[in-house]
Amino acid sequence: MMDQAILEYGREKVFQKQTLSRWLKLPEPDREALLELARGLRIGENHFRDFLDWLEEISLRDGASLSQILKGKSIALIWSDSRLGRNDKLKRIKEELRRLRFPRLVRLEGEIQKKIRQMGSGPQIQMTVVPGLEGGALTVQLRATSHEELQRLLAVLRQFSERTEMKEIFDLLAGREQGAELSA
Amino acid sequence: MIFWRGENKVLNYRPDEVIVEIGSEESPILRNLRRALPDVPFTLVEHPKSFLSALQASRDPFGKGKRRLLLMRHKGDFLKKCPGSDGQVCCNYFVINFASNCPMECSYCYLQDYLAQNPALKVFSNVGDLLEEAHKLLSRHRRFFFRIGTGEITDSLALDPYIGISEEIVPFFAEQPNALLELKTKSDCVEGLLRLDPKGRVVVSWSMNPPKVIDEDEHLTASFDERLVAARRCQEAGYRLGFHFDPMIEYPGWEEDYQGMIERIFALVDHQRVAWISMGVLRQTSSLKRIMRQRFPSTRLLSGEQVLCPDGKMRYFQPLRVRMYRKVLRWIREASPTVFVYLCMESKEVWKQVFGFSPSCERELGNQMAHH
């Protein structure tokens, strides 16, 4: 019955055979939990594969089943939040799963974002790092509409470059963070 | 689905059959195989087509491919430039492919993907052509110094007790003034080497990982102690040594394990006879990841915090792996302040974060390694 529902869902969303086969090979409670999630969020194949990869990898690492992970408090809270629409729920649950899958990376990305916010650069000076932090670079983007404005922004940027937060961002990007947060 | 338990020793490898393609009957490799495997059936075929198509149709072509050994002539070039990885710092290395696939079963092995359409365990019989090609290249470019390895799409030594390839190529390279041959292995099959004089022109190198990683993910390979003892024996026989800490794996307790591994290596070998050490973290393409998931569903390697890099390979996220490299480099430097250490398949940014510099070009890195 449930497998039939999975196959129907797969047909409706045009899932590849391999994806459906992975889904159908899971233990029954996991199959069911994923079906509930997929139907509730109307998940397409690309998102579904990410979910499945991350859930299996978390499961392997933590020894919890896929359904236990999905029924965990952090995901259950988002799932049951009636204020959130389908898109927001999908986005938030995916973020939460990414956090569970990559806890140290997400923590580090969060620390860098926090330091960027602390500097309060405003909309004309944007500082960003790529998700995953590959390349070890901070991208700084200036938006000026006149020569004077550009000079003012460059002066502000120079001040930012002297800030402790800025040095700490580069330390974090180069794996030189304080403490042992990155240790396994 | 494959589960490996209670084995190790690559020396226990015995193919179920040796398939010999017509044209290989006079090869010294066939003579060695017959001598080493008297109980194994040998089948002479005009073309191994039916064997190859049956293999490709099996459930696990790559794994099944290891069970039979195919001896055939190699029709293309034996010597190739190592392809490296897109956009990564390259060390200007050349490879000789005397065989394809390998009798070992590492869960992370990139050959599972790279040889997916060509999974048979093949050994090439026309060694004379190999040596002639190498001779032509080396004599045409006498002012260029070549570093050449044989461990790119096979293990350099795992099959040596059966095929005796080292006896064919080591004496040749020992006489070449502008080349250094690297034999890269996870085996302890060094008996054949000990009878030869490398004249300082052969480096035998081991891919090293702590015993925990070897037990869990490097199936059918020699144990850590066996590799280390083999390295010591090669050193005593006049070979220079290399160590590849690649792939480095991150897991709870990896620091203690890798530090202990480095201490044990340098307690047994003379660091002044070590030609180089490389470091590289676990990496895989998404297609290799799919294959690993199918062939080794219980491996924990896929649960590391890996992200997609610009060259299409997944690696531990950069701050994490840079931190790993720095730590390992520190432990190496404590044991040997002067040994040459380099990164394999890493970007200039990572080089700078680890060493404080990056090589300006591939020739610079290659030259440093050759003349260190």
The pLDDT tens digits of the residues spanning A141-153 come to: 999 999 999 999 9
Tell me which residue in A57, A101, A182 faces B320 most closely, judged by beta carbons: A182
B84 or B330, higher pLDDT = B330
Residue A182 lies in a domain: no
Last residue of a domain, one of A101, A121, A148: A101
A7 and A82, same domain (yes or no): yes
Count of domains in chain A?
2
Residue B52 Cα, gap to closest chain A Cα (Å): 25
Question: Is residue B48 classed exposed, middle or buried when 0-12, 13-18 and 19+ CB atoms within 10 A define those classes?
Answer: buried
pLDDT digits (tens, 9 = 90+) for B161-219: 999 999 999 999 999 999 999 999 999 999 999 999 999 999 999 999 999 999 999 99
A48 and A134, same domain (yes or no): no
A1 touches B at CB < 8 Å: no
The pLDDT, as a whole number, for residue B1 is: 41
Residue A180 lies in a domain: no
Q: In this model, does residue B364 exceed pLDDT 70?
A: no
Tell me which residue in A58, A103, A134 faces B318 most closely, judged by beta carbons: A134
The pLDDT, as a whole number, for residue A122 is: 87
Strand-strand pairing, B94-96 and B79-81: antiparallel
The pLDDT, as a whole number, for residue B144 is: 87
| Local structure of B232: helix, strand or coil | helix
A155 and A113, same domain (yes or no): yes
Give the structural domain span for A35: 2-101
Does the model's ipTM exceed the 0.85 cut? yes
Block residue for tokens 């293309």: B76
Residue A184 lies in a domain: no
Task: Give the global pTM.
Answer: 0.91
Write the CA distances from B179 to B135, B141, B166, B350, integer angstroms: 10, 10, 16, 29
A15 or B142, higher pLDDT = A15
A150 and A76, same domain (yes or no): no
Q: In this model, does residue B127 exceed pLDDT 50?
A: yes
The pLDDT, as a whole number, for residue B50 is: 87
Helices B318-335 and B348-355 cross at an angle (nearest 10°) of 50
What are the start-end ranges of the E strands in chain B? Answer: 17-21, 42-45, 68-72, 79-81, 94-96, 99-100, 105-106, 121-124, 146-149, 179-185, 202-207, 218-219, 240-248, 274-281, 306-308, 314-316, 341-343
Q: In this model, does residue B9 exceed pLDDT 60?
A: no
pLDDT digits (tens, 9 = 90+) for A125-183: 999 999 999 999 999 999 999 999 999 999 999 999 999 999 999 999 999 876 544 54
- Answer whether A137 sits within 8 Å of B349, measured CB to CB: yes
The pLDDT, as a whole number, for residue A121 is: 84
At residue A105, what are phi and psi to the nearest 5 degrees?
A: -65, -45
A123 and A167, same domain (yes or no): yes
Last residue of a domain, one of A79, A101, A123: A101
A146 and A59, same domain (yes or no): no
B361 touches A at CB < 8 Å: no
**CATH tag, B10-371:** 3.80.30.30
